[in-house]
Amino acid sequence: MNAIFSPGKLMLTSEYFAIDGALVLAVPTKLGQEFFFEEKDDHQFLIHWEAFHQNKLWLTAVMDYKNWQIQETNIPASAEFILKTLKNVQQLSNIRFTNDCSYHLKTNLQFPADFGLGSSSTLMNNLAEWAEVDPFYLNTISLGGSGYDIAVAKEKSAVLFQSKPEIQYEKVDFSPSFKNELIFIHLNQKQDSREGISFYKSKPKSQKLVHEFSDITKKILLCNELEKFSELMMIHEHKIADFLEILTVKEKIFSDCPSFVKSLGAWGGDFVMSAKFRGFKDYFWEKGFTSVFEWSDIIDL
């Protein structure tokens, strides 16, 4: 079988405000999603879909793409989403689902599904590359979202991304001198990004804050001192907390942490970023957070 790979992502700046055009800095993760594909000229019009999570079978489905019906599956709701997405692929692509062959398609998500590193965005980018279609448009009609995660998956690089007035992004070299002092902690739960975005959208828009977050992103990209980086991250964190009228993750969980703590992506789950301090692993473990990663463990830069 042939294979395609897309890396996961971590969003370092402008969470929520990305959808209103704030400049985002995002980085690729070492783990991502693999996509394997094979065609058989059997005149069956079938899609045989297998989805693995860390090499363990999770979802199976057999779909008829002539009538777009699910013939069999072990998880109907998930199979319906795959069916809808592949139907979108067919509408966009000139090379896939255009004849009567059968497709054997297999995915393997390399990271735990609750890590929030981009199980959907890596799938969208893999399918788009396979079908030779625009991954941003496929993502828009299948899922929605700003698209920053698609840019990371497509470029396999750190990116500066902006969703408005139109999607634009550039690959950037983000490898700060203090990167080995940074740590990433999983909060043992996955935040529902759509729920977080709905909450954000219920608040009055602030173009002023969009510009402020873009400015912070530019400063962070150029930052070469950990102290200044930490200061910018805490300013960023408090601006969002004030806007959403909720506590920061540090105030809520890590009030006695001697370093900055910055939420990454939708607040309330997934990952936070901090910096090393004496006994940092024991500190987070004692609070029940045992998934603590250094830069070189998780970031692919």
Residues 59 and 133 sit within 8 Å (Cβ to Cβ): no
Each residue's pLDDT, cut to its tens digit, for the chain (301 residues) gives 899 999 999 999 999 999 999 999 999 999 999 999 999 999 999 999 999 999 999 999 999 999 999 999 999 999 999 999 999 999 999 999 999 999 999 999 999 998 999 999 999 999 999 999 999 999 999 998 899 999 999 999 999 999 999 999 999 999 999 999 999 999 998 777 778 888 888 999 999 999 999 999 999 999 999 999 999 999 999 999 999 999 999 999 999 999 999 999 878 769 999 999 999 999 999 999 999 999 999 999 8
Q: What is the pLDDT of residue 157?
A: 97
- What is the rounded CA–CA span in Å between residue 263 and residue 272? 4
Distance in angstroms (rounded) separating the CA atoms of residues 43 and 239: 58
Give the count of alpha carbons within 13 A of 146, CB side only. Answer: 31
